[in-house]
Amino acid sequence: MRLTGSETSPYVRKVRVQAMEGGYWEQLDFNELGTTPIDPNAGIANPLKKVPALELGDGMVLFDSRVICEYLDGALGDGASFPAPGPARWTALRRQALGDGLLDAALLLRYETSLRPAELCWNDWCDGQTVKIDGALADMEAQAADFGDTVDIGTITTACALGYLDFRYKDKGWRETYPALGAWYAEFSQRPSMTATVPPE
């Protein structure tokens, strides 16, 4: 199976971290391919021209990190990233949605401030995305004590979202406001899967 993506994409990082945690990363052929929302690379074999994209042996291409992660967990993993139906599964999926939501807002904010011409930057839009980021962080802080040593799609996505803030928003200073979350992330970020996927500067 061929995984196409960028090492700077937090959604691609989520797939990579899960694959390393599941012990099947070496079974994937990783194709590094840079792209931006305003200049999508024609080499991305899916109709949305987004990464990550996973090409299966029969030619089918899966896209969206949520779909790819669940497919890989079932096809190559032992199902550990996605708990069986029940409360644990809903908790993991909710945490995944929260982390993805933080990433969506953070990426939209970055596009607005780094890709759009400065004279066209929409401050109210930026403020709206910041409210979403802060709301997600506050919710994560409230849950941090319950994360423990859990490694599933929820905590993986949470960690990748926080890693993206460190990568693109170094002056955010989120650890000062959310100390329990910061303490959890300090430990989780030392996992080999996380240290191996730190995005290049």
Model pLDDT for residues 150-199, shown as the tens digit of each residue: 999 999 999 999 999 999 999 999 999 999 999 999 999 999 999 999 99
Query: Is the pTM here over 0.85, yes or no?
Result: yes
Tokens coding 201: 């500067």
- Range(s) within the chain of domains with CATH label 1.20.1050.10: 87-192
Tokens coding 178: 């959310």
Whether domain 2-75 has CATH 3.40.50.1980: the reply is: no
Q: At what angle are helices 10-22 and 87-110 packed, to 10 degrees?
A: 150
- Fold annotation for 87-192: Glutathione S-transferase Yfyf (Class Pi); Chain A, domain 2 (1.20.1050)
pLDDT digits (tens, 9 = 90+) for 78-100: 999 999 999 999 999 999 999 99
Q: How far apart are CA 106 and CA 93, in angstroms?
A: 20
